Chain A
Amino acid sequence: MKIAYSHLVSHIQESPTLEMVSDSLFQLGHEHEVEGNIFNMEFTPNRGDCLSINGLLRDLSVFYTINHDQKFYTDELDNLQIDFENLSQDICPQISFLKLEIDNIPHTYKGYLNDYFIDLNINKNNFFTDISNYISYETGQPTHCYDANKINGKLIFQELNTDQEFETLLDKKINLTDKNSVFLLNNEVINLAGVVGGKRTSCSSKTKTVLVECAFFKPEKIIGKSIKYDIQSEASHKFERSVDPACHESVMRRFINLVSEYSNIKKMSFVSYKYEDIAAHKIPVNVNKINQIIGINISEDEYLSYLLKLGFTIDNSLITVPSFRSDIETQNDLAEEVARAIGYNNIPKKELSIPKGKISNNYDIENKLRYFLLDQGFYEVINSPFVNSSPDVSIRVDNPLDSNREYLRTNIINSLLDNLIFNERRQKDSIKLFEISDIYTLKDNQIERIRRLSIIASGRAGHNYEDFSKKINIKYLTKLFKEGLPGENFDFQILDRNSTKTKIKNEIIGCEVDISNFSTEVLNYKEISKSPDNFIQYCPISELPYSHRDLSFSIKDHTKCKPLEKFILEYDDELLKKVFLFDYFYNEKNAEIKIGFRFIFQSIDKTITETQVNNIMSVIIDKAKKLDDISIPGLI
C-alpha cells in the first residue's frame, strides 16, 4: 500500500523529516520502500488496522503528537428507511447504510482530496467513488457506493451457492461458482461482498443520489476470493485482514463532511444494523509478566503510557483492547506492543545458556556414509521429489504445479539417472553421484517413510594416471565399496541406458539401499575428506562446450619430473578449466619416463575456438621445452 509522507506529516505536530518517519515505521515493524515522498508499505497480515493514514498515525503516536484535526458531520442524522435483509448475519454481523442526495456534482477537488489523487497518481472516477476511495485511504474502512436510483427493489445480503456471470464495476466479467457472499437485487448479484461491486448499480459521473454501504465481514469468508476471481481489490485486501467493526458511524460522518465541502447536501439519512455484539477484549494489567516476557525492567507507569498512546484504555487494572486491534489477545501480544515502542534493537540481550544436547545415531551413520562416498569421488546431489510417473504405491499431489510433477517419487535412482545424463551431455566423462533422501510410498493405504541412499556412476573411474583408463563397472565399484565398508551390502546393477537417448555406450551402474540396512560398523570408517572450514566464493559456470588437448612428455632425467608436473598443474589461464596427469609409464629398458597431461578448455561467455586452444598450448609447449632433458614425442 502506498502512503504519502506529506499526508502523514500534516497531522504530526513535531513535523518529523521523511527519514525520521521511515525509521519510526521500521521500529514499529512496518516494512516499506521509500519511493520519492511515498512510503510503499508492506504490512504484516495481522495489522489490517494500519492500512490507512489514521491507522499509521495511531501507531506513530508512540513517538509523536498527532493532531486529530479531521472534521466530521456532528448533527443528528435522519433514520434511513431501506428495504434490506441480511440472510447471513454470521458473515456480516454489522452493516450500515447512508443515503445522500446532492445539488451539484463537483468536477475539481482542492486541498488534501486533490493531493490524494495527485501525490499517489490515482485516477479519478466519479465524485462519490472518489470520496469512497479517499475515505478508505484515510480511515481504512472500505465503503461501497451504489447509485441509489438503480436500487429498485429489495437488497439482500447472503452467502449462497452461485453459478452466474457477474460484471464488476471494473468492466470485468467473472463466473461466480461455489459459495460466495454477495448482495442481491431482484435475485441478481450486484456486489461480490468485500471484493468488488457490480457495474449494474455502480455510480456514474451523473449520480446525484448515492447509497453508501459500510460493512464488517468476517475475514475468513472473504479470504481467497480475490485470488480465485483474479481481482486486485484494495477492499478485499483490507477486509481479509479485518477492519474496525466499531467505526461505521464515524466513517459515514466523515463521508458526509467531505461531500459537504464540495456540494450542498439536499437530503441524508443513515441506518446501522448490529446483529452481534463484538465485545471489547480485556486483559489484566501485569507489568511483571511483560518484563519477564521481554527481559527488561520497566515501571507500570511506563508500560501503561505506551499502551495509552496506542489507543488502549485502562480501567480497574484491566486493559481494554481497542476495537481496531483484533490481533491483541494475550499478555504476549501486549509485550510485543511494548517491545515495538521501546524498539527491538534497544532491548539489551541477556546471556542464554542451554544444557548440551546429543545427536542421534542415524545421523552419524548417514554422515559416515557421505564421507566415505566423498572419499571415493562421489558428489552429493539433491533432487526434487515431484515426478510424472505413477506406480501403484505413488503418493499423488492434489494440487501439483503441473502434470509433470503430479506424484512423489518412489525411488531416488531415476532422479540420479537424469542427473547423470544431464552431465554426460555436458561432456563429463567420469560421473559419480549419490543422494540420501526420504522416500514416501503407500503401503496398505498408509504412508510409509523410508530413508534411502542411492548411488550412480558411469564413465572413467577417475582423472588420475591409475584410474583414467579404467571404466566404471560392477566389479570396480563392488571392490571399492567392499574395501571401504566391509560387511555392508551394495547390490550394484547395470541400469538400462536405452531410455536415455544418448550415444554414449559406457555402462551405468547404480544401487539404492535403505539406510536402516547399514550396521553401526559404518561408524568405524576413517574418513579422508573433511568438510571445508570456510565457504568458497562461487564462480559462475559455463554452459558452452569444452575442448581438450593431451600432451605427452619423455623424461630422461627423473629429477625433472617434479618441476614439469608443478609447471603444468599450476599453469594458469582463464580458458584452461582443468588439467590433470592421466598417464605415467616408466620404461626400465631405456630408463625413460613417459608422462601425459590432459588439458580441458572452456570459455564462460563464448564458444572456444581451435585457434585459442592452440595458442595456449603453444605457450605451454614452448615453456615446457625450456626444461632440460624433456622432449615431446611427435612434436617437430
Chain B
Amino acid sequence: MSFNKDILPPELIKDRGSLHPINHMKDSIMSLLVSFGFEVVDGPEIETEEFNFDMLNIKKTHPARQMHDTFYVEEKLNLLRTHTSPVQIRGMLEKKPPLAFISGGKVYRKDDDATHLPMFHQVEGIFVDENVSFAQLKDLIYKIIYSLFGDSVELRFRPSYFPFTEPSAEVDILSKEGKWLEILGCGLVNPIVLENCNIDSNKYSGLAFGLGIERIAMLKHGITDIREFYKSNLDFLNQFK
C-alpha cells in the first residue's frame, strides 16, 4: 500500500452559468460586424411612428402599421419598435456620412404562434458613403454568411421588397438537406430615407441589412421550436455553456 503524505482533495468543479443563446448569438454577430468596421449604436424599444415608420418610407397604408401587426402604447402616442431600424435613423440624424452603424436588440410584432413570438431579436446594420453599390452589399453579405456558416455554404440572393431599401434582396442559404433557408434581408438604402435624414442622396448612397437572431440561433443549434428560448428552463440553458 502506498500513502501520499500530502493528500490532495479532488478537483473542485465550480458550476459555471451560461449566456442566453440568443444574446450569445447577437453578441457574436455584433462582434463580427464591429471587426468589419461597424460602430454599435443603441436606441429605445418604445418608439414613435415617425421613427419606426415615416422616416423609413413605410407609408400610412402599409399593413405593418395596422393594430393587428404593431403594438401601440399610451393611446397610440408611441409603439413598440417593430425593427431596430429606428436606431439607425437616429444615428443618421446625429452624424454625417461616411457612417457605419449596427444596432441589435429586442423588437416586437403582434404574432404569437409556434413559429412567431411577439418579442424577438434583430441585428441591423447600415453603411452610408459615396458610391456605395449593390455589388459591395453582396461582398459584405458573403463575408457575414461565410463567417456564420462557413465558406463552403451555398447562398443565393432573391429580389424582395422593403420600403426602406431599393433594390431590396433576401438571402437564402442551402441547408444540408438541400432546402433553401431564408437568412437575412438587405438592400441599398432608399434615397427617400437618406433625404429624410438630411443626407444628400445625390452625393451619398448606403447599404443596409438585417438579421433575425432567433432564426440564425435555431439553425446553428438545431432548435426547432422558437418558444424554447424563452422558457428559462435550466435544462435548456445548461446546454449553452
Contact = CB atoms under 8 A, between A and B. Distances in A.
B137 to A, nearest CB: 8
B135 A348 contact: yes
A383 interface: yes
Interface stretch (A111-119, A169-177, A358-366): A358-366
B239 A536 contact: yes
Interface string B148-179: 00000000111111000011110000000000
A584 B73 contact: no
A381 B24 contact: no
Interface string A366-404: 010010011111111111111000000001111111000
A377 B20 contact: no
Contacts of A580: 13
B40 A541 contact: no
A462 B232 contact: no
Given A227-B68, A398-B75, A357 B191 contact: no
Interface in B1-58: 1-4, 7, 9-20, 22-25, 27-28, 34, 36-40, 42, 44-46
B74 A395 contact: yes
Given A382-B23, A398-B67, A353 B167 contact: no
Nearest to B121: A382
A442 B67 CA distance: 22
Interface in A53-108: none
A562 B112 CA distance: 51
A559 to B, nearest CB: 6
Contact of B110 (A339, A399, A442, A565): A399
A438 B45 contact: yes
Contacts of B223: 538
A532 B217 CA distance: 14
A384 to B, nearest CB: 5
A350 B135 contact: yes
A340 interface: yes
B135 A465 contact: no
B94 interface: no
A383 B230 contact: yes
A636 interface: no
B133 A395 contact: no
A16 interface: no
A201 to B, nearest CB: 29
B237 interface: yes
B198 interface: no
Contacts of A358: 34, 39-40
Contacts of B117: 384
Given A377-B15, A428-B234, A350 B133 contact: yes
Nearest to B20: A380
B238 to A, nearest CB: 7
A402 B62 CA distance: 24
Given A349-B139, A376-B17, A399-B110, A339 B134 contact: yes
Interface string A389-432: 00000011111110001001000000000010011001010111
A380 B17 contact: yes
A295 interface: yes
Contacts of B24: 531-532
Contacts of A586: 7, 9
A27 to B, nearest CB: 8
Interface string B222-238: 11000011111111111
Main secondary structure of the interface of B (DSSP, over half): mixed
> Contact size class for A?
35 or more
A395 B45 CA distance: 13
A239 to B, nearest CB: 12
Nearest to B237: A379
B1 A556 contact: yes
B159 A293 contact: no
A593 B14 contact: no
Given A379-B237, A449-B46, A28 B231 contact: no
A255 to B, nearest CB: 29
B136 to A, nearest CB: 4
Contacts of B240: 532, 536
Nearest to A289: B202
A486 B114 CA distance: 45
Contacts of B158: 26, 29, 31, 344
Contacts of A44: 159-161
Contacts of A354: 36-38, 100, 127
Contacts of A345: 156-157
17 contacts: A292-B205, A294-B135, A339-B134, A350-B135, A352-B139, A354-B36, A355-B37, A363-B40, A380-B237, A382-B22, A398-B67, A408-B73, A431-B234, A449-B44, A464-B12, A558-B7, A581-B10
Top 4 A-B residue pairs of the complex, sorted by shortest distance between their CB atoms: A295-B135, A29-B159, A295-B133, A354-B37
Given A339-B167, A398-B67, 16 more contacts: A45-B62, A227-B68, A240-B63, A293-B205, A347-B134, A347-B135, A357-B37, A357-B100, A359-B34, A398-B74, A428-B234, A442-B74, A538-B222, A557-B1, A565-B11, A591-B3
Interface of A: 26-29, 31, 44-47, 219-220, 223-224, 227, 240, 292-296, 330-333, 335-336, 339-340, 344-345, 347-360, 362-363, 367, 370, 373-386, 395-401, 405, 408, 419, 422-423, 426, 428, 430-433, 438, 440, 442, 447, 449, 462-467, 528-529, 531-532, 535-539, 541-542, 556-559, 561-562, 565, 580-581, 584, 586, 591, 593, 595, 629
